Amino acid sequence: MGRMPKPIETPVPSRAELIDHLVRTRIAGDVATPRDNNLSHYRKLANGDRHYWLGLELGDRWSDEQDVLAVMAERCGVVDDAAYRFGQDTIDPELTVAGLDRLAARLRKAALDRQSVLLATGHPGGLLDVHRATADALRAAGCEIVEIPRGLTADEGSVWQFADVAVLERGATLWHTHSPEPMAAILDGLAAHGRPQPDLVVADHGWAGCAAQRGLDAVGYADCNDPALFLAEAEGTLQVAVPLDDHVRDPRFYDPMVAYLLDAAGLR
């Protein structure tokens, strides 16, 4: 039998090409998340709804939804007008690429120092392969990809790794979750087995928030209706929050973004 052909590697876009791609695929620019949904989430976070804190302890520091909106306009690029209540909202693609550059710098450090890295996602339908490709590149550069203990459970589901990425599985389905509990189960499980905590966590949603709250180096992706991670970055709890739509129509749309990220990190 002949050899299987190698998969075609996605070309690395220039910064301008990536920005154009992000806007065309609605990863950034005019995104699918409506304005009223964004504002509703900002208000619920400000009112103390822990579901929207993503595992972070925000105290009463963000009890004014206008303060939350101001941070989201600055770090994500949503419309900075409290009177704009309905319609299309936005993510600034320049901020997305700037976030990718910051994330690339942290990945480069992880590779240079041969650090241990844990990758996890609460958005497997959109970001699983983004994290998988990052794990592959880090392992090839000499990093340890943390293997989670077996038998972990959280939120009436099981915490497993698929393609080196931790996910929540329930009813034979990979689960979309904002909960911090699966990450807490992993970190507690590592400690219970006498294993060290990861040097770096690359994640999203409550997986990233929980790790950051526990004092670990954590970076993550966040949508414009998930303000907690941007607030954590503003406070210095989370190292990087990359703004993007975390579930666009085709997961392959993220491939050029990943190519840019890994190239900028020196991991291609």
Q: Given pLDDT bands bounded at 50, 70 and 90, which one contains residue 9? A: confident
Average pLDDT of the segment spanning 230-234: 98
Write down the pLDDT at residue 4: 43
pLDDT digits (tens, 9 = 90+) for 157-173: 999 999 999 999 999 99
Which amino acid, residue 115?
Q
Q: Are 20 and 78 in contact (CB under 8 A)?
A: no
Is it the case that residue 7 has pLDDT exceeding 60?
no
pLDDT tens for 76-124 read 999 999 999 999 999 999 999 999 999 999 999 999 999 999 999 999 9
Per-residue pLDDT averaged across 174-178, rounded? Answer: 96
Using the Cα atoms of residue 190, residue 267, residue 113 and residue 96 in order, give the sign of their dihedral.
Answer: negative
**Contacts from 216-223 at CB under 8 Å and sequence distance 24+?**
216/187, 217/106, 219/102, 219/103, 219/106, 221/127, 221/130, 221/246, 222/76, 222/246, 223/31, 223/33, 223/247
- Residue 3's pLDDT is 52
Mean pLDDT (whole number) for 58-87: 97
Q: Which residues contact 92 (CB under 8 A, 6 or more apart)?
A: 28, 76, 77, 243
Judge contact between 69 and 42, C-beta under 8 A.
yes
Check whether 42 has a pLDDT greater than 90.
yes
Check whether 61 has a pLDDT greater than 80: yes
| pTM exceeds 0.85, yes or no | yes
Cα 103 from Cα 99, distance rounded (Å): 6
Residue 1 — pLDDT band, cuts 50, 70, 90? Answer: very low
Share of residues in the chain with pLDDT > 70 (%) = 97
Helix (H, G, I), strand (E, B) or coil at 160: strand
208 vs 4, higher pLDDT: 208
Q: Are strands 157-162 and 165-170 parallel, antiparallel or unpaired?
A: antiparallel
Residue pair 216/193 in contact (Cβ under 8 Å)? The answer is: no
Average pLDDT, the chain: 96
CB within 8 Å of 137: residues ≥ 6 apart: 107, 262, 265, 267, 268
Residues 179-217 pLDDT 10s? 999 999 999 999 999 999 999 999 999 999 999 999 999
Q: Report pLDDT for 8.
A: 67
